[in-house]
Structure 1
């Protein structure tokens, strides 16, 4: 019976020692004539050796030569790229992958307290590393490019052309996604693209579990790159950049037709009894929740809970940012019972995930839209705007208005520049402490009734510049009701910082509504150009016919 033995042998033309297997040395020598057979037997032997080692629990001298794969593993997170903006004056987390347990040196070329920023860290058992660098405060008119380097096992990766400034995170649905090339005055805006702004358009994705990576490239703002970027987002960033004179980075990570629940973490939905019952449980019980999730768009998929949070928000949570801008609501407009709760949960969960305190959260109220029903008695969207307005009472949370820039026949009005600039005005006043910048339109304070008249008073700080209409016509969209609770159009006149109302069909007015129906396109504003906010003085329940 032939005896199996192992021997180390040198194959012709090969420097690396290999192992031959056969019944004798003679047979092994003969096998050298068949190179393919030898390679096959070597592979079998290595598998056997691995099995023997795992069973015996001891080392062996027959150890395969392993290639150093550190250079294949060393990488920045896909969020961290050339051309990005680094958030000023905050700790900056640098994260990525390396060989497991490898030491990683992180070095930046910017100076903090007279020294270059650097830190040495060690990757964990999964090869993930994370280090934190100090970042200096941005200086006006400083657009010098910087670079950031990671090194491990004599391998180096570098990202370049980094600017230190402010980084804002933009998300929501189609009115935030709406591109610059689609907006009013797009040619002028595109031709004057602001090169001190950096843009990241994140590719659509979905995931049942939180993701770490993204698709999409940081770009210098140019006439080419700005065309497809968020019109509201760019208008916001451009206005900020011009006022602050520092680099501004904008990340858009959202998708049209999406719901608020799609951007809320699964754990946050599960922890709230109402949201769990309304959104999470129905989805978990739906067979769709057990199907494979692909990246392609569908109107149904973008409404599912938590999938967009996992894919579009979660990868960014280690990143230092200045704040959030959010424009969403149209898909949830019939879902008011849970909408405010879901939005507040979204805000709280994002702030908790990013771990940077109570980050500013600015959002946009939905624009006027008739839903193909030109009937001023339909008020569903007005009640929805009322719900949206309630969200801003959360700390450091603010709302921009769109009542004067809507289009009753178009859910996606093209006049996006004022929307972005109103978000910027909020940021300048509330986040950057430029208190001289007005950011509020006229807000209702109280109504005084005088026989057949109603006199509307506004919060003084919202009309300090005075009242006016942007078209020079009398204010429109005011309604009065008497004891029959039926609202009739009112004639309005600006008197100082008040508006006086009369309605021929209402002898003794008791209730007032302003812009309280689906599609008002208003003209009342303060002299800073900010529109008056809709309001009502009644507490009537919505009629079911509104849908």
Structure 2
């Protein structure tokens, strides 16, 4: 073959490659589709693909915004803040050669709902939540396909629909939020059972936590695990249940496929119902072995720092420092850690979900966060309780108060201070107007101790907006723990019948 022929073939190959590389026509992100909800009150990014250097115009709500695609065909622009609107509207996205029309768009509150199995629990499995479906107006939902990726993806798989999410918690939340706010609600649901917080952590959190860097280092060189995942993803008839469990319990790769493509879709906040997978250990990260290869996750006591940094990381990625995070406290459950599974579910010294709840409550150290109290809910024998309706309702109360500025009571009593008077402890609370018990009996779930730290179930009485604690065997009480157990018996509420938050002073 002479040089002239070779040069001609090379030129043809380059031209062909160029055509295939830049053949994409106008295509917005899959998050922009018929029946969607756009977030009110903040700039709204709109993005997608087109031909390189193409001129893109987005028309919506009397706004005309234009931009140029980059050399790879990627484009993004931002709409000015929108006003809530229940009247369906349409968006037009235009390039030089194409036009796309997106119809039946509402403007209101958009929330991402994520986590593991208790967020994933289907609405069909919770009859009292499913009963709300015909009553839900102006609610739209986008259920993200459950999958994984070894790299951060730009595109998401899913579709907006009219009506509730498949998630029972998300459905109850959206129903009550629509009622309280009198506003359209859009839910983006991205959850997967058995997933740890590490599964939803972006790769750059290696810079924050050495344990995560170590996990990802080992994951990168684990060719056996990667080949199993690749085989599962490419299976012609889909993956098996065993493969499903294997994939969802790996680090980082759920974030890559199911969360990263949502950035920077405008939303008010994120509801996070996760933690069960991180309760196997009170502290630390176990060494990997065949028996616990899926359990290499942070323990309950360190979860606090990881959760807070995770929130800050997501806010940075969304370029929204006021993005609200609503954490669902783990409800009552009567089993312990790997160290000791069978525990006394009411004893405050056992290694139980109590330690995870304490870590979850530390999220309140950050601005624009809330924690839904579920201490009166749950099932002593079932880690997947069915009482999802009150969780959704309490989420909506917190969102309505904290993000819509509704003048409502949204939280139960929270520890303010403890006063020592003689042989008694006086517990003062915030949010304590109308302090009472649900059953008219004395408050339950209070334990006290002196310097020996031998805990005794306290005699408790309500006096005004305080609870007075004592025990005949403790002359000088110093410390108190309330509802700090796996599945405590509790009955203390405020005027809104919202339960008191668990706490410990030692």
TM-score (norm 2): 0.84
CA distance in 2 between partners of 1:178 and 1:523 (Å): 27
CA positional deviation for 1:524: 0.9
Contact 1:264 1:345 in 2 (8 A): no
- 1:446 aligned residue (417, 425, 430): 417
Answer yes or no: is 1:354 the counterpart of 2:323.
no
With over 3 angstroms needed to count, the CA separation of the structure-2 counterparts of 1:101 and 1:237, relative to structure 1, is: same
Query: Partners of 1:175 and 1:248 in 2: how far apart?
Result: 21
Alignment of 1:201-350 (within 5 A): 201-221=143-163, 226=164, 229-277=166-214, 279-288=215-224, 290-291=226-227, 292-293=229-230, 294-295=232-233, 296=239, 298-333=244-279, 334=281, 335-350=299-314
User: What does residue range 78-89 of structure 1 map to in structure 2 within 5 Å?
Assistant: 78-89=30-41
Alignment of 1:452-471 (within 5 A): 452-459=423-430, 462-463=431-432, 465-471=433-439
Q: Residue in 2 aligned with 1:106? A: 58
Q: Deviations over 1:478-503 (max 9, x none)?
A: 11223542212223222211112233
The alpha carbon displacement at 1:290 in A equals 4.0
Contact 2:302 2:359 (C-alpha < 8 Å) held by counterparts: no
1:426 corresponding residue in structure 2: 398
Which residue does 1:25 correspond to in 2?
none
Pick aligned residue for 1:373 from 334, 339, 342: 342
Distance 2:425 2:479 in 1: 9
CA distance in structure 2 between the partners assigned to 1:387 and 1:489 by the alignment: 24
Tell me what 2:115 maps to: 172
The 3 A distance-change label for structure 1 pair 502 and 318 is: closer
Q: Which has the higher contact order (CA 8 A, sep 6+)?
A: 2
Provide, for residues 375-416 of structure 1, a one-character-per-residue CA deviation record: whole Å limited to 9, x for no partner.
133233212221221222022222111001121111122111
Q: Is the 8 A contact 1:263 1:313 kept in 2?
A: yes
Task: Give 1:254 shift.
Answer: 1.5
Q: Report Cα offsets for 1:54-76 as digits up to 9, x if no partner.
A: 469999xxx9xx99x97x62222
> Quick one: which of 29, 37, 47 aligns to 1:77?
29
Looking at structure 1, the residues matched to 503 and 208 of structure 2 have their Cα atoms a distance apart, in angstroms, of: 33
CA distance in 1, matches of 2:97, 2:212: 51
Aligned residue pairs total 465
The root-mean-square deviation of aligned C-alpha atoms, in Å, is: 2.8
Q: Is the 8 A contact 1:470 1:523 kept in 2?
A: yes
How far has the Cα of 1:365 moved from its partner? 1.2
Q: Secondary structure at the match of 2:384?
A: coil
SS across alignment from 1:301: helix
- Any stretches of 5+ residues in structure 2 without a counterpart? 234-238, 282-298, 336-340
Encode CA deviations 1:494-538: one digit per residue, 9 max, x unaligned: 221111223344344333221111111421111112211112222
Cα distance in 1 between the residues matched to 2:5 and 2:208: 50
Kindly state the Cα deviation for residue 173 of structure 1 after the two structures are TM-superposed.
1.0
Counterpart of 1:392 in 2: which secondary structure? helix
Indicate the SS of the match to 1:298: helix
Per the TM alignment, residue 328 of structure 1 is displaced from its structure 2 partner at its CA by 0.8
What are the equivalent positions in structure 2 for 1:497-512 lying under 5 Å apart?
Answer: 497-512=465-480
- What displacement does 1:157 show? 1.6
Partner of 1:52: 8
Cα distance, 1:101–1:289 mapped onto 2, change above 3 Å: farther
Conserved 8 A contact 1:184-1:416: no
Deviations 1:188-223 (A, max 9, x none): 32332x1211111111011111101111110101xx
Structure showing greater radius of gyration is: 1
- Is the 8 Å Cα contact of residues 301 and 355 (structure 2) preserved in structure 1? no
Which of 349, 356, 367 is the equivalent residue of 1:395?
A: 367
TM-score when normalising by structure 1: 0.78
Give distance in 1, aligned partners of 2:177 and 2:12. Answer: 66
| Aligned pair partner of 1:134 in 80, 86, 92 | 80
Moved more, 90-99 or 315-324: 90-99
The equivalent residue for 1:413 is: 385
Distance 2:334 2:365 in 1: 28
Aligned pair in 2 of structure 1 residues 527, 143: CA closer, same or farther (>3 Å)?
same
Matches of 1:443 and 1:285, distance apart in 2: 47
Q: 1:490 to 1:360 in 2, by over 3 A?
A: same
What is the Cα deviation at residue 133 of structure 1?
Answer: 2.4
**Residue of structure 2 in register with 1:543 after alignment:** none
Alignment correspondent of 2:284:
none
SS in 1 for 2:205: helix
Supply the distance in 2 between the matched residues of 1:55 and 1:302 (Cα, whole angstroms).
46
Partner of 2:133: 190
Work out the CA distance in 2 between the residues paired with 1:186 and 1:324.
20
Q: Give the deviation of 1:332 after TM superposition.
A: 0.5
